[in-house]
Structure 1
Amino acid sequence: MSETTLAEMLRERGLRLTPQRQLVLQAVHELGHATPEQVHNAVREVAAGVNITTVYRTLELLEELGLVRHTHLSHGSPTYHPGGHDQHIHLVCRHCGTVSEMDPMLMAPLADELTREKGFTVDVGHVALFGTCAECGDISREK
């Protein structure tokens, strides 16, 4: 997203584009999947004076604007990733913490069944499956 587009979106809400907002959005895009603490650390490398409260407030605002999305990939803080991308399933390795993405169509049969049986609609953007990635599985098999 360009600075101009972000500035216009903020202006429409009576807000302005601040360096902090720009840095937080840039950090989310660079990190891919990141907790507010990870975003804060990335932003502080560029602007040491930005505090964690500003990062949390900015992430909330950016989510309201549809520029970032969050999901819960552990029991801790939510994980943010760029918005506007297609929804995806998150695969989280319990050993190394790697997060990878899969096409949500893999969930289609289950989602259809849940809708049919329970009237329940799955929000695929928040689906996280935990397990062991191929690399960690290879390491454990070598032992």
Structure 2
Amino acid sequence: MPEHADLLEQHRIPVTAQRLAVLRAVDKKPHATADILAETVRQEIGTISRQAIYNVLTLFSEKGLVRRIQPAGSSARYENRVGDNHHHLVCRECGLTVDVDCATGETPCLHAADDAGFIIDEAEVTYWGLCPECQASKAKN
């Protein structure tokens, strides 16, 4: 994986301490919200505005450096796993979000019955349930 500064330069994004810190935060906390990433960046470099975090994340999303996902009922989350069509598991209880590789073999639900003339290039699937920790917590109660 290229160094963060090299990655920014490859995408013609000027290298700044804030941008590098945001990339490192996304590495450390995949599927984190902008607020969580902002706190992580602040711990590393000190003061940074919430708007600056949003601006950097928007730029990185547009350039394909991070992927923005937004499971139903959740704030947007950001990850650095880009360039593939993976999906996510989301815990209904605690919100834990983890990556799931695409299904292989016969996957009829990933083919639209009527594509309405669209050229489909991605399917976004979110699996919902309870993570092992929340299952154990419910079992105790």
TM-score (norm 2): 0.82
Q: Which moved more, 1:27-36 or 1:70-79?
A: 70-79
Cα deviation, residue 48, structure 1 = 1.8
Q: CA RMSD in A?
A: 2.2
C-alpha distance in 2, partners of 1:141/1:16? 51
**Any idea what the Cα deviations from partners look like across 1:20-66, whole Å, max 9, x if unmatched?**
11111111111011111111000000122211100000001111111
Report the secondary structure of 2:110's partner residue: helix
Cα distance in 2 for partners of 1:43, 1:88 equals 26
Could you say which residue in structure 2 is the equivalent of 1:110? 109
**5+ unaligned residues in a row in structure 2: which ranges?**
none
Q: Which residue among 135, 138, 141 is the counterpart of 2:136?
A: 138
Tell me the distance in 1 between the aligned counterparts of 2:81 and 2:137.
34
- Structure with more helix by fraction: 1
- Partners in 2 of 1:122 and 1:84 — Cα distance? 14
Does the 8 Å CA contact 1:93/1:133 hold for their aligned counterparts? yes
Residue matched to 1:51 = 49
Q: Write out per-residue CA displacement over residues 69-105 of structure 1, whole angstroms, 9 at most, x where no aligned residue.
A: 1110243421010043532211111112211221222
Which runs of 5 or more residues in structure 1 are unaligned?
A: none
1:87-126 CA deviation, whole Å, 9 max, x = no partner? 22111111122112212226932112x2xx22174733x4
CA distance in 1, matches of 2:71, 2:25: 18
Please state whether the residue corresponding to 1:92 is helix, strand or coil: strand
8 A Cα contact 2:8 2:14, kept in partner: no
1:75 to 73, 76, 82: 73
Q: Which amino acid aligns with 2:107?
A: A
Contact 2:87–2:126 (CA<8 Å) still a contact in 1? yes
Structure 1 residue 138: Cα displacement: 3.3
Aligned residue type for 2:59: L
1:89 equivalenced with 2:87 (yes/no): yes
| Displacement after TM superposition at 1:127 (Å) | 2.8
Structure 1 CA distance for aligned equivalents of residues 56 and 108 of structure 2: 36
Aligned residue pairs: how many?
135
